[in-house]
């Protein structure tokens, strides 16, 4: 199994890049695990309390479960991946079965900052976009898709997203084998990653 880790700050385009990579590959050969699925279950907190959690700090992620799941997949076993609701800001009761695949892509803001997880990647990629680009994209996405208002997005950006990016995410760039510039759509880089994957599938 080939395991590819893809990190980068919020709004840099990780999900978009992963979708573009996967789009033209055989569906049953490639699987995706997103760090977003592994936020700790906060069902015991009220919605107001959940709203105050720092979702950009490594402690907000259940890395133990994420690593255990990746190990299971590498051992040829299926996993029950949690489902996270950004609107409710907690895990849902349901899970999704993910089967082992020849290629697994693991994406998320902090996936290169966790040493144990990082060691499991055969290829480490960091997607870069300037912070102003990322903030603009984040504002548009969170208001449209994640049920947040302008004030909430900006407050979170200043109090958690930006400081955690500087402390944990940006420094993890040094572990990358490949940095994808993504201020603009980067089809060349996407094609290159797809070529590497195809070589492994073939
Ligand atoms: N290169 C790009 N140029 C313009 N918009 C982009 C680009 N890449 C992604 N986006 C848009 O930015 C938003 C955030 O992208 P997404 O892939 O969800 O980022 P991430 O997963 O890193 O948070 C989405 O609305 C997406 O359509
Ligand atoms: N309840 C939550 C949980 C997380 N976030 C934000 O998601 C960002 C990471 O996801 P990306 O798709 O943007 O990489 C992270 O910056 C968290 O602040 C949230 O808004 N609400």
Domain positions in the chain are 2-201
Query: From CA 17, how far away is CA 111, in angstroms rounded?
Result: 15
CA of 201 to the centre of ligand 2 (A): 32
Q: What mean pLDDT do residues 82-87 have?
A: 92
Q: Whose CA is nearest to atom 13 of ligand 1?
A: 137
Q: What is the position in ligand 1's atom list of the atom closest to the CA of 19?
A: 17
Q: Whose CA is nearest to atom 14 of ligand 2?
A: 10
- Whether 146 lines ligand 1, by a CB cut-off of 6 Å, is no
CATH of domain 2-201: 3.40.50.300
Of residues 50 and 176, more confidently modeled: 176
* pTM of the predicted model over 0.95: yes
How much is the ipTM here? 0.98
**65-96 burial by CB neighbour count: b if 16+ within 10 A, else e?**
bbbebbeebeeeeebebbebeeeebbbeeeee
Phi, psi of 178 (to 5 degrees): -145, 130
Burial class (CB in 10 A: 0-12, 13-18, 19+), 61: buried
At 174-191, the pLDDT tens digits run: 999 999 999 999 999 999
CA of 9 to the centre of ligand 2 (A): 10
Strand residues in the chain grouped as ranges (E):
2-7, 30-34, 79-85, 90-98, 103-107, 123-128, 178-181
Report residue 16 as tokens: 């978009």
CA of 46 to the centre of ligand 1 (A): 30
What count of Cα atoms within 13 Å lies in the side-chain half-sphere of residue 190?
18
Average confidence score pLDDT of the chain: 95
CA of 72 to the centre of ligand 1 (A): 30
By percentage, how much of the chain surpasses pLDDT 70? 100
The DSSP code sequence of 66-104 is: HHHHHHHHHTT--EEEEEEETTTTEEEEEEEEE---SEE
Report residue 202 as tokens: 């073939």
Q: Which of 5, 11, 139 has most ligand 1 atoms within 8 Å of its beta carbon, as the pocket-test mutant?
A: 11
Q: What is the pLDDT of residue 163?
A: 98
CA of 55 to the centre of ligand 2 (A): 6
**CB proximity list for 175: less than 8 A, separation 6 or greater:** 112, 118, 124, 126
């Amino acid at each position: 199994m080939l395991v590819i880790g893809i990190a980068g700050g919020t709004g840099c385009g990780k999900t978009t890049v992963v979708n573009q990579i996967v789009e033209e590959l055989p569906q049953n050969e490639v699987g995706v695990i997103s760090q977003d699925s592994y936020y700790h279950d906060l069902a015991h907190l009220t919605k107001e309390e959940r709203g105050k959690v720092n979702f950009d700090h490594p402690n907000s992620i259940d890395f133990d479960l994420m690593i255990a799941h990746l190990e299971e997949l590498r051992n040829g076993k299926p996993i029950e991946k949690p489902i996270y609701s950004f609107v409710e800001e907690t895990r849902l009761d349901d899970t999704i079965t993910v089967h082992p695949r020849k290629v697994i892509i693991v994406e998320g803001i902090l996936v290169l900052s966790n040493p144990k997880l990082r060691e499991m990647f055969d290829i480490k990629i960091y997607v870069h976009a300037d912070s102003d680009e990322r903030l603009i994209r984040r504002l548009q996405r969170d208001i449209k898709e994640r049920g947040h208002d302008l004030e909430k997005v900006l407050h979170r950006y200043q109090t958690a997203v930006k400081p955690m990016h500087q402390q944990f995410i940006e420094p993890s760039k040094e572990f990358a084998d490949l940095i994808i510039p993504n201020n603009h759509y980067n089809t060349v880089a996407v094609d290159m990653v797809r070529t590497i994957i195809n070589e492994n599938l073939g």
